[in-house]
Amino acid sequence: MDFDSHNTAMALGAADLVNLATPGLARTRPYEPPPDAELAERTNAVLQAADRHATALGAADVARLAAYAPQLRAVFEHLAADEQDGAVGAANALLAQLRPFPVLERRRDEPWHLYHRSTAGDEGSDWAARLTLGLAAALGSRFASRLGVCSAPACDRAYVDVSRNGTRRFCSTACQNRVKTAAHRARTQGT
Ligand SMILES: [Zn+2]
């Protein structure tokens, strides 16, 4: 996906947070978000992957950020159901709630960088604003169809398709292989 790399990183971060912090099914197994300490550690790893200058959030901010995960998930679910208007509605509702604003900031010895914060005033909401903006940038571009939910049975994990041809339908190669194997089995049994 070649829409700008910052927005791509934020959209990928949104998918990772959704998969970490919302319950459901992951590759045929029921999934529950991990307990607080592990959730905090893994959330900070997601944020670090999205922005290497990210400073670690404390437990309270992780909980605030995780609370936005169901709303972020709704964007992916609407797109998976081919409901672009629904996805835009979900993203706009988050933007109206978070009211992101740009601010120039400097982390440690890095050069000044344009970040977004939320008018909610806490760092968890700041991150929710950044991740939402990444999804909104995709929704407002020809890359909206690159966001989705795994189409394998018994899996509902979100993904962002960053492949060149944009034909991804699964959260992982595990799900892709499972569906391929099942299709092959159905074919060979049908003959
Ligand atoms: Zn899957």
CATH code of 181's domain: 1.10.3300.10
pLDDT digits 0-9 by tens, 15-38: 999 999 999 999 999 999 999 999
Rounded distance from Cα 27 to ligand 1 centre (Å)? 5
Rounded distance from Cα 76 to ligand 1 centre (Å)? 13
From CA 98, how far away is CA 127, in angstroms rounded? 10
Q: Could you list the residue range(s) of the whole structural domain that residue 181 is in? A: 5-190
Rounded distance from Cα 152 to ligand 1 centre (Å)? 6
Q: What is the pTM of this model?
A: 0.94
Domains in the chain, number: 1
Rounded distance from Cα 117 to ligand 1 centre (Å)? 32
For 175, the token pair is: 């799900």
pLDDT of residue 179: 95
Q: Which of 119, 113, 75 is nearest to 96 (CA)?
A: 119
Which residues does 153 contact at the CB level (< 8 Å), separation at least 6? Answer: 28, 179
pLDDT digits 0-9 by tens, 77-92: 999 999 999 999 999 9
DSSP class of residue 146 equals G
pLDDT band at 1 (very low <50, low <70, confident <90, very high): very low
